[in-house]
């Protein structure tokens, strides 16, 4: 059995109807939801009924349009709010990303600047140490050379005095001799004096040579020290440069890593905001579509109710007319069969009023309001 084709309408006449497919409450609900498919027509309405139907239809359509416009405006307003909330959330995340990146960049630059200043201080300190050591070495060299020269001069002077003393002794010896001894010893004494002078010159040469050798040693030692100090400074400078580069590279890598973390957080927040927006927008669209369907269905149901009321009213009017016609025929039959009937009796029969209550569209509508808007 096709429930979609069921056209059984709930009424008191079906209260004893039994079927495994029939439920009075759901049958009435089905009827109320599918009345549009029944092909109701206004052909049974008179002109007044049609006018009333068109008027009511226009009012219901106006109300439906107003409710649809209101729902659409609320949907647009809420949708705009959701879009603004997503934009605000993304803008806030982007601003936080920019401020975090800027803070990380400043920290990197500060770290690099500190490393540069530290390298500069260390290099200057190493250079000062090198200069100080070189100066001390030069002073030590000068001092040593001076002392060596003083020793040499002292030795030269000592040998000179020794030579001079020996010469004086020989000359005194020669002067104290007789003419014969002088003549015999003059050459010897002269040779001895020459020998003393030669020995002195030889010793002076040795002393000068020793001094020159010692001086060269001091100079060479100073040169070695100077080279050692320069090498030490260069090694220190290279170490400071390497430390600066390492710290700078670490600072840049940390900034790069922080930037990637902040970018990932921004992307995550943007994705989350978009997904949240799409989910809420989908839910809002579903609710809006449901609301629109509800408004349209309510309008259709209201219009169907009004048409039912008008059709019932028309049916009541026709029933009243049939009742009047039937009553009139009965009255005429009684009048013709009765003897001594008077025109007054006929007149009273013509003023007969139907016992059927006169229903109209407006009385049905008022009755519907009294019953709390329940379906007829």
SS (H, E, C) 167-178: HHHHHHHHHCCC
DSSP string, 38-62: G---STTS-HHHHHHHHHHHHHHHH
Own/partner contacts of 82-89, CB < 8 Å, gap of 24 or more, are 82/277, 82/280, 82/281, 82/284, 83/277, 85/277, 86/273, 86/274, 86/276, 86/277, 89/269, 89/273
Separation of alpha carbons 133 and 150, rounded Å: 25
pLDDT of residue 172: 87
DSSP string, 92-133: HHHHHHHHHHHHHHHHHHHHHHHHHHHHHHHHHHHHHHHHHH
Q: Describe the chain by its helix, strand, coil percentages, rounded to 5.
A: 85, 0, 15
pLDDT of residue 359: 38
Dihedral angle computed from the Cα positions of residues 138, 139, 140 and 145, in that order, rounded to the nearest 10 degrees: 90
pLDDT of residue 17: 41
pLDDT of residue 22: 44
pLDDT of residue 20: 52
Separation of alpha carbons 200 and 186, rounded Å: 21
pLDDT of residue 179: 85
Burial (0-12, 13-18, 19+ Cβ within 10 Å), 306: buried
pLDDT of residue 34: 53
pLDDT of residue 336: 62
pLDDT, one tens digit for every residue, the chain (376 residues): 333 333 333 333 344 444 454 455 665 665 565 554 444 577 777 777 777 788 888 888 999 999 999 999 999 999 999 999 999 999 999 999 999 999 999 999 999 999 999 999 999 999 999 999 999 999 999 999 999 999 989 989 998 898 899 889 888 888 888 888 888 888 888 898 899 899 999 988 988 999 999 999 999 999 999 999 999 999 999 999 999 999 999 999 999 999 999 999 999 999 999 999 999 999 999 999 999 999 999 988 888 888 888 888 878 877 887 887 777 777 777 666 654 444 443 333 333 333 333 334 444 445 445 445 444 3
Burial (0-12, 13-18, 19+ Cβ within 10 Å), 286: exposed
Kindly report the backbone phi and psi dihedral angles of residue 21, in degrees, each rounded to the nearest multiple of 5, phi listed first. -100, -5
Kindly report the backbone phi and psi dihedral angles of residue 2, in degrees, each rounded to the nearest multiple of 5, phi listed first. -90, 110
pLDDT of residue 32: 60
pTM beyond 0.85: the answer is no
Q: Give just the sign of the alpha carbon dihedral 363, 365, 367, 369.
A: negative
Of residues 198, 162, 202, the one with CA closest to residue 210:
202
Give kind and range of the element (H or E) at residue 22.
Answer: none
């Amino acid at each position: 059995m096709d429930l979609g084709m069921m056209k059984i309408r709930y009424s008191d006449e079906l209260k004893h109807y039994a079927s495994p497919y029939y439920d009075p409450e759901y049958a009435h609900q089905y009827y109320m939801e599918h009345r549009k498919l029944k092909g109701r027509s206004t052909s049974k309405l008179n002109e007044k009924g049609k006018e009333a139907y068109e008027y009511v239809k226009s009012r219901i359509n106006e109300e439906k349009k107003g409710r649809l416009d209101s729902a659409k405006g609320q949907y647009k307003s809420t949708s705009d709010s959701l879009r603004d909330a997503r934009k605000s959330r993304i803008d806030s995340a982007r601003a936080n990303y920019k401020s975090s990146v800027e803070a990380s960049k400043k920290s990197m630059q500060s770290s690099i600047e500190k490393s540069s200043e530290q390298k500069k201080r260390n290099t200057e300190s190493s250079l000062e140490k090198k200069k100080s050591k070189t100066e001390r070495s030069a002073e030590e060299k000068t001092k040593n050379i001076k002392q060596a020269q003083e020793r040499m001069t002292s030795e030269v002077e000592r040998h000179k005095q020794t030579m001079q003393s020996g010469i004086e002794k020989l000359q005194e010896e020669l002067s104290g001799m007789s003419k014969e001894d002088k003549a015999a010893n003059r050459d010897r004494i002269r040779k001895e004096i020459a020998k003393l002078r030669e020995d002195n010159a030889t010793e002076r040469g040795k002393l000068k040579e020793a001094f020159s050798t010692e001086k060269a040693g001091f100079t060479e030692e100073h040169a070695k020290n100077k080279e050692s100090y320069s090498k030490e400074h260069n090694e220190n400078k290279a170490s400071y440069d390497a430390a600066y580069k390492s710290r700078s590279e670490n600072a840049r890598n940390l900034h790069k890593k922080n930037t990637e973390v902040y970018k990932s957080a921004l992307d995550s927040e943007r994705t989350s905001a978009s997904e949240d927006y799409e989910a809420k927008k989908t839910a809002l669209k579903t609710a809006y579509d449901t609301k629109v369907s509800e408004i349209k269905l309510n309008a259709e149901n209201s219009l169907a109710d009004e048409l039912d009321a008008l059709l019932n009213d028309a049916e009541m009017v026709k029933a009243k007319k049939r009742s009047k016609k039937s009553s009139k025929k009965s009255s005429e039959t009684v009048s013709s069969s009765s003897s001594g009937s008077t025109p007054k009796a006929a007149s009273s029969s013509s003023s007969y009023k139907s016992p059927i209550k006169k229903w109209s569209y407006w009385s049905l509508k008022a009755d519907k309001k009294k019953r709390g808007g329940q379906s007829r």
